[in-house]
Amino acid sequence: MNRFFIHSIMAVYLLSIAAFLSILTVPAIVMASPPSNVILKIGMKNELVVKLQTILSEQGYYTGNIDGDFGIATQQALMEFQAEHHLVPDGAAGVQTMTVLRELDIQSSRDQAPNRLAKQITSLAKQLSNVPYVWGGSSPNGFDCSGYIYYIFHYFNLELPRMADEQYEVGLSIKRSELQEGDLVYFSTYLPGPSHVGLYIGGNKFIHASSAAGKVIITPLTADYYQANYIGARRVIKGF
């Protein structure tokens, strides 16, 4: 038997052993680091838990403190949420649960956006209280009624016509019983038709640039003069 033949047999033998050992070790490597499906679970404390608690609170499941501490109360709220959304109610937020929570959070943000904008508009309107009434004015140096509304909405990149009667043609017609913060209210005053406009701020009140008062003021809708001359309301903030 020559050396070449002996070396060939040894090489085949060694390759066979290496292949056998590789078959044994691959499963061990795979099992050593299995992928985890759990993102949040009881005992954790971080900013993601804060977000989880916030969403569960907004959806009406969680009533505890939003402190980022995943305790029993958070777990129970999550289990109730999972059960009602046809998820495995294991009280741990895995990928599937987090996906559903994220979709609800996005939808909730969209639903709340018009309300947040209305509050921002109302806040700016109130900051401009007592600014002098100036015929034809549309700046913080002085406003007339439609100039006041035009300025506020333009500030938030919501374009309206300049005049009250033109503004009355924009948006949706709203019944008085349906008024919400941020809606526009119109009156027939010195001219027939919509010749005066104000911003409804809730509580049956509106804010407007009043020529009679000589400045921007808040007035009840039930005030005799405005009650008698009220002609309608428009909603120009989309999404309500």
Boundaries of every domain in the chain: 38-113, 128-235
What does the alpha-carbon distance between residue 201 and residue 206 come to, in Å, rounded to a whole number? 5
The CATH number, out of the four listed (3.90.1720.10, 1.20.120.520, 1.20.140.10, 3.90.70.10), of the domain defined by the range 128-235: 3.90.1720.10
Q: Is residue 129 within 8 Å of residue 214, measured between CB atoms?
A: no
Q: What pLDDT does 146 receive? A: 97
10-residue stretch averages of pLDDT, the chain, 240 residues long: 44 41 34 52 92 86 90 94 92 91 75 78 94 96 97 93 96 93 94 94 95 96 95 84
Cα–Cα distances in angstroms (integers) from residue 150 to residues 109, 114, 126, 154, 197, in the given order: 27, 18, 15, 6, 10
Q: What pLDDT does 58 receive? A: 79
Tell me whether domains 38-113 and 128-235 share a fold.
no
Which of 237, 233, 229 is CA-nearest to residue 174? 233
Structure tokens at 226: 């405005």
Q: Can you name the residues that pair with 210 across neighbouring β-strands?
A: 215
Q: Taking the CB of residue 180, how many other CB atoms lie within 10 A of it?
A: 15
> Distance between terminal CA atoms of the chain?
94
CA dihedral 126, 131, 132, 138 (to 10 degrees): -90
Q: What pLDDT does 12 receive? A: 41
Q: What pLDDT does 8 receive? A: 44
Q: Is 190 helix (H, G, I), strand (E, B) or coil?
A: coil
Contacts of 187 (CB under 8 A, 6+ apart): 194, 195, 196, 197, 198, 226, 229, 230, 231
Q: What pLDDT does 37 receive? A: 64
Q: What pLDDT does 239 receive? A: 53
The CATH number, out of the four listed (2.60.40.10, 3.90.950.20, 1.10.101.10, 3.40.640.10), of the domain defined by the range 38-113: 1.10.101.10
Q: What pLDDT does 7 receive? A: 44
Active centre residues (catalytic)? 145, 196, 208
Cα–Cα distances in angstroms (integers) from residue 118 to residues 3, 200, 235, in the given order: 93, 10, 11
| Phi, psi for 205 (deg, rounded to 5) | -130, 155
The three-state DSSP-derived secondary structure of 133-181 is: ECCCCEECCEECHHHHHHHHHHHCCCCCCCCHHHHCCCCEEECHHHCCC
Q: Is residue 180 within 8 Å of residue 200, measured between CB atoms?
A: yes
